[in-house]
Amino acid sequence: MSQPVLIIGGGLAGMALALALHQRGVAARIVDARPRGAAKSDARTLALSHGSRLILENLDVWRGVPHTPITTIHVSHQGGLGRTLIHAAEQQVPALGYVLAAGDLASALDTALAGSNIAYTDNTPAPAQPDATLTVHAEGRIETTENVRGHDYGQHALICTVKATTPHGGTAWERFTPAGPLALLPCQDDYAVVFTCAATESASIIALDDAAFLNLLQTRFGSRVTLWHVGPRLCYPLGLRVRKTTIGNRQVWIGNAAQTLHPVAGQGFNLALRDIAELADTLTDAADPGAATLLAAYATRRRLDRSATIGFTDGLVRLFSNDFAPLRCLRGAGLLALDLIAPARGFLARRMMFGARGW
């Protein structure tokens, strides 16, 4: 019997991959530098697509995760006409996506791991010279500059929850402003907020009292929803970091170890889950999970979706994070056209739910 696949990192991506491999009869073990369960304290809010739900359902972890369905997405831009509405019913799915706490998903994944008796070694740094037939790097940001491209957006994301005077009704709001995108995502009875601002402004915005911050948030969002209470705020720098190739000599990189994206459109972990599902399928029944031809086939099958998703996310930031008047008019016309042309809406919705290969 071949050695188990070594997964470095016990975060969301690492645990999901271990379960996917176990389900397909591929032995795997996790090594994590942190104590087991550290991912349960992850304070992020995730927006998962309908396609990601199907992957997690297949891993038998979805039922254990509290979540809020997104049944409508409203897209607009500040300072111009034109908007787009995308409805789950039109796309014949129960929801376009779901909002959930990353820590809740980590808890469900860890419970499933324990029930499957998957080997998990915590408080242990990754071995300098792994002896596994295949090592999967599933933890941490990309620190190296070798074989990596990307740039700093000069933006920070402020994360918080807010309360509104009216129920959200399952609507997610994506509002593009010259300072960066602003998202209000239905999260239980509240909204989860991703407030993008210039990096030079983040410290002063974080320092605002609740009333002043709410006023700024309301000004940038507009009057469609009235906000009245805000929770604690966290701040993250935003940049694009992408490995030019996600495979090496008996190595694969997934999740944030493969690419870190801007949170606009919430594609980061959705892309990671599609990578995980494809990798698990590729390794099923493999005599040698680290064989170069096998890994090359995996990379080839993931190339279109990965490049398209990265390009789509980066393009949205570049297209909408400015106030150039002619471009503002073109954006408005594009949003209006998207709202009027059902096949175009369907194409965008399926790309968001299932990736570039979902159409």
Q: Is 120 helix (H, G, I), strand (E, B) or coil?
A: strand
In this model, does residue 328 exceed pLDDT 70? no
92-122: pLDDT as tens digits: 999 999 999 999 999 999 999 999 999 999 9
Q: Is residue 24 part of a domain?
A: yes
pLDDT at 82: 65
Q: Is 27 helix (H, G, I), strand (E, B) or coil?
A: coil
Which tokens hold the place of 199?
């990096």
Report the 10 Å Cβ neighbour count for 181. Answer: 23
Which tokens hold the place of 134?
């295949």
Distance separating the N- and C-terminal Cα atoms of the chain: 39
pLDDT at 348: 73
Q: Is residue 156 part of a domain?
A: no
pLDDT at 98: 97
In this model, does residue 330 exceed pLDDT 90? no
Report the 10 Å Cβ neighbour count for 99. Answer: 24
pLDDT at 322: 57
pLDDT at 314: 87
Rounded mean pLDDT, 334-355: 66
- Specify the CATH number for the domain of residue 260: 3.50.50.60
- Cβ-count burial 121-148 (b if 16+ within 10 Å, e if not): eeeeeeeeebebbbbbbbbeebeeeeee
Q: Is residue 12 part of a domain?
A: yes
Residue 245 to residue 242: CA distance in whole angstroms: 8
Q: Is 276 helix (H, G, I), strand (E, B) or coil?
A: helix
Which tokens hold the place of 252?
């694969």
pLDDT at 128: 81
Evaluate whether 11 touches 105 at the Cβ level (below 8 Å): no
In percent, the amount of the chain with pLDDT more than 70 equals 89
Residue 75 to residue 264: CA distance in whole angstroms: 12
Evaluate whether 45 touches 68 at the Cβ level (below 8 Å): no
- Report the predicted TM-score, pTM, of the whole model to 2 decimal places: 0.91
pLDDT at 359: 46
Q: Is residue 227 part of a domain?
A: no
27-44: pLDDT as tens digits: 999 999 999 999 999 888
Evaluate whether 263 touches 46 at the Cβ level (below 8 Å): no
Q: Is residue 264 part of a domain?
A: yes
pLDDT band at 312 (very low <50, low <70, confident <90, very high): confident
Print the domain residue range for 76: 5-147+239-354
In this model, does residue 327 exceed pLDDT 80? no
* Residue for token pair 């039109």: 90
Q: Is residue 95 part of a domain?
A: yes
Evaluate whether 196 touches 179 at the Cβ level (below 8 Å): yes
Q: Is 182 helix (H, G, I), strand (E, B) or coil?
A: strand
Mean pLDDT of the chain: 89
Q: Is residue 205 part of a domain?
A: no
Rounded mean pLDDT, 206-235: 95
Closest CA to 292 of 245, 325, 254: 245
Evaluate whether 98 touches 67 at the Cβ level (below 8 Å): yes
pLDDT band at 61 (very low <50, low <70, confident <90, very high): very high
273-303: pLDDT as tens digits: 999 999 999 999 999 999 999 999 999 999 9
Q: Is 105 helix (H, G, I), strand (E, B) or coil?
A: helix
pLDDT band at 326 (very low <50, low <70, confident <90, very high): very low
Closest CA to 358 of 131, 91, 128, 51: 51
Stretch among 56-65, 130-139, 152-161, 324-333 having the lowest mean pLDDT: 324-333
Q: Is residue 292 part of a domain?
A: yes
Q: How many domains does the structure of the chain reveal?
A: 1
Residue 273 to residue 279: CA distance in whole angstroms: 10
Element (H, E) at 354: helix 342-354
pLDDT at 1: 42
DSSP state letter for 133? S
* Distance from chain centroid for Cα 346: 21
* Residue for token pair 């997934």: 254
In this model, does residue 334 exceed pLDDT 90? no
